[in-house]
């Protein structure tokens, strides 16, 4: 009775396992890089959108509060502040998109959530390697 040698069996399995392991490692590495990149972009843009959105939202209110206080003091200053207050837009139509302060704030918070999800998925991908 001829028995198959274990070395040929073992080396064939070893080659199949190493190819599978290498493919799996490459896939997890690619996912880790992708999730980490998305996390970095989201962490960069989220504070920018939040600050711009909150500033744009607060500016008309601050100018309006100053305008009501200066109404008794000087009529010329009151007229200038009213003109400035009227020129601050409530929204911008830019390249086919309608941009508002509330939208910027929402997008900033959404990007923060995306950064948290990206960090979690990146950690899971790193663990899978």
CB 57 within 8 A of CB 102: yes
Which are the contacts of 64, defined by CB distance < 8 A and separation ≥ 6?
85
What are the residue ranges spanned by the domains of the chain? Answer: 38-124
Which range of 15-29, 51-65, 76-90, 101-115 scores highest in mean pLDDT? It is 101-115
Over residues 55-87, the pLDDT tens digits come to: 999 988 888 777 766 656 677 777 777 777 778
């Amino acid at each position: 009775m001829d028995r198959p040698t274990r070395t040929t069996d073992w080396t064939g399995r070893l080659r199949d396992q190493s190819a599978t392991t290498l493919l799996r490692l490459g896939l997890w590495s690619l996912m880790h890089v992708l999730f980490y990149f998305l996390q970095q972009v989201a962490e960069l843009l989220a504070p920018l959108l939040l600050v711009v959105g909150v500033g744009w939202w607060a500016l008309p209110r601050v100018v309006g509060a100053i305008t009501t206080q200066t109404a008794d003091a000087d009529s010329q200053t009151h007229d200038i502040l009213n003109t400035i207050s009227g020129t601050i837009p409530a929204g911008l139509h830019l390249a086919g998109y309608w941009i508002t302060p509330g939208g910027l704030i929402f997008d900033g918070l959404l990007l923060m959530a995306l950064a948290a999800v990206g960090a979690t998925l990146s950690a899971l991908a790193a663990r899978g390697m």
